[in-house]
Structure 1
């Protein structure tokens, strides 16, 4: 194991035996050589390395094997086969309830946890006040843990884990239990630990957090490693997997409904002055027009079920000119051409703007803007144009644009055609340096002030 490697897994597998009836377990004990169990492989031949000091995300659906993998790394589960090497002290926040004795007080559990981690009583004495202050549970520190709320439990568990000064910190969705102030406090501490070189394994369903915190990410599905690599790319692969599955499930539900929909013959015609016809006065303008198709670059990420095809996507400045740069507080447009290849009784279209880290900043859809879209026929082309104000800080951004089929009343959508990273554009800093702001986005505010004479 290299000195720069924190964790190595080589074909790690974990198998559980499941019995249809309790008596089958007894039969297997009494009749050696014959099995009555059904094997369930929670992990199957998982191999990867975690470099010291990096933050590795682990994503997957419920039941994919993420928690089992973390328990194997922590040593609370023994793998059925494969090799595992861990280089350094591990502190873990796994599922709520793991690690503490419910009959012990908070204080006693802190000392027990420290002993398990290899700390002497004197070392725990030196850190106890810091642990208690971070947990901030007051007099409950001397009450039995079984009386704690879930929020109090995770406060003490996180405080105990970080104050053993681990080489490797493992967090499995536990922070979602705490209140918003404590979550912010934990995130700030985790970032500080990452900056100091602590290796972090981070399991979360919050894709934004995974993209923001993690350099690399592993995608686990049905106990197998599907993909590992740069966090933003692996997350896109994971989301595409979910979207395809969701599309298929929704399509099955809609087959009978769609078959009953009468084909509409209503056409939307242009006005006599040959200007595109505005369907709605809103932040979105839906225009009917024939337009050509462009070839998107190889860097785009495209998915969808078909039936509609995005032909072109552009960013237009306040003068309605195609641009790759926008100015501070400038009005601008996001425009997309859509060719419909099937009949749909309605549709939805919208955009999402991300920064280069993949963090979703702002966006909207025709559904969000309460625009009722008309039925469309095969061969019709629509131009969707969204007009908005630039509230973004200077930097480089990308646009996701999508066409979807709304599924009412549960407000789910079938993705017809979605293009990720369809447009890359730049926001220039304000001409006046005094107008700069430090957040990702800006919203106009009114500020009042008054002076109180003494």
Structure 2
């Protein structure tokens, strides 16, 4: 059963060059046209199953927030229909649904009342809302005095404690601090386990891949892709890279940007590749601590990744980079020569060089993909080989998680000793 159904939805806005133009149009009974129309969404179709977590990603201005606002009933579509089943809670714009003159406490009761709760019901879970928001004495101060982070704390705490059937959350969470963001992610996972339907808009692709069951890509008001979070994120990154390349073309850089579908390395993981290819990664290699070519490595082993780069024009100080992702697409480790303040020098057309990346592999047991890139400081890719190689990290290891830190545990039994 679908909790959210979006059918052929189109949303247009009237844009007036000056405020007075709106008045002119009204006074002339729309005989004079003083506006232009902007299409925020065009013929979008989307269904979200009950209990599903759907990620919505895309560049700025793609229509993500507009879609969420229509799901929440804040605005109506010009065409099509949207049906949402159950109680809806949303965090879309900071301050939405709050009265600036009311205290945080009063806003909790007001928002809960809008959701259909009686005051005595709110009394039962108010302390839990206050505890999660961690606003202290600010809970009894007008919310107009709140920072953006405090707004988010209160809004998220209210929205997740009124037991919604559908939870809509926008990029607003990005303004919170790291500790609160971690707690929010944990709470979203708990809601997912309870069967709450969640639509999650974010530019944080790691969060989308870690939380969502499926994802969709919006671009310029159209739904461009739908699928696993990993595949949709890769499509999104390709779209962003294409825009960067076009921007470089406008500044006089080459325009022959294209993507190459590479052969799959396994049933689940396939390489994606794009760039201008003025510098091309023609060969990649993985060796273990004994110098053997392999894709099976022991956790903690000294690994050596290598790429052969062929230059098709003179390039000064290209950046060489590497990225490891786990099987969920979460970025585990990434770096490049620019971040490490290493100038690479001038390379001539026709020259081929080998670049090494050496490190002890302090990661947990599991499968990882390795991506390689050659690009400029501005992020214009000469060659970006995404998920080029799959490696398997083996154990046993004396820990759990993504990282294997060189940790010592010491127990000091001496009386009165200080902690070290």
Any idea what the Cα deviations from partners look like across 1:331-383, whole Å, max 9, x if unmatched?
Answer: 11111122222221232212111111111111332333443323222222212
After TM superposition, list the pairs within 5 Å mapping 1:10-409 onto structure 2. 10-29=7-26, 30-253=28-251, 255=253, 297-298=263-264, 299-406=270-377
CA-CA distance at 1:446 after TM superposition: 4.9
Runs (5+) with no aligned partner, structure 2: 255-260, 265-269
Q: In structure 2, what is the equivalent of residue 450 of structure 1?
A: 412
CA-CA distance at 1:176 after TM superposition: 2.1
Runs (5+) with no aligned partner, structure 1: 257-294, 407-411
Alpha-carbon distance in 1 for matches of 2:327, 2:130: 39
CA-CA distance at 1:35 after TM superposition: 2.7
CA-CA distance at 1:49 after TM superposition: 0.6
Relative distance call for 1:440 and 1:80 in structure 2 (3 A) is: same
Relative distance call for 1:317 and 1:17 in structure 2 (3 A) is: same
- Does the alignment pair 1:415 with 2:381? yes
Q: In structure 1, what is the equivalent of residue 257 of structure 2?
A: none
Aligned with 1:413: secondary structure?
coil
Alpha-carbon distance in 2 for matches of 1:141, 1:345: 56
Alpha-carbon distance in 1 for matches of 2:319, 2:178: 33
CA-CA distance at 1:136 after TM superposition: 2.2
Relative distance call for 1:337 and 1:100 in structure 2 (3 A) is: same
Aligned with 1:97: secondary structure?
coil
Relative distance call for 1:195 and 1:106 in structure 2 (3 A) is: same
Q: In structure 2, what is the equivalent of residue 436 of structure 1?
A: 398
Alpha-carbon distance in 1 for matches of 2:180, 2:96: 20
Larger Rg: 1
Alpha carbons 1:251, 1:414 under 8 Å: kept: no
Alpha-carbon distance in 2 for matches of 1:22, 1:396: 57
Relative distance call for 1:320 and 1:249 in structure 2 (3 A) is: same
Aligned with 1:35: secondary structure?
coil
CA-CA distance at 1:33 after TM superposition: 4.6
Q: TM-score, normalised by structure 1?
A: 0.84
- Does the alignment pair 1:427 with 2:393? yes
CA-CA distance at 1:447 after TM superposition: 5.0
Alpha carbons 2:365, 2:395 under 8 Å: kept: yes
Any idea what the Cα deviations from partners look like across 1:188-239, whole Å, max 9, x if unmatched?
Answer: 1111111111111111111111111112112112222121221111111111
Any idea what the Cα deviations from partners look like across 1:383-424, whole Å, max 9, x if unmatched?
Answer: 212221111111111110111233xxxxx2321011111111
CA-CA distance at 1:26 after TM superposition: 3.4
Q: In structure 2, what is the equivalent of residue 288 of structure 1?
A: none
Over the residues paired in the alignment, what is the CA RMSD in angstroms?
A: 2.0
2:5 to 4, 8, 16: 8
Alpha-carbon distance in 1 for matches of 2:357, 2:143: 54
Relative distance call for 1:251 and 1:119 in structure 2 (3 A) is: same
CA-CA distance at 1:132 after TM superposition: 1.9
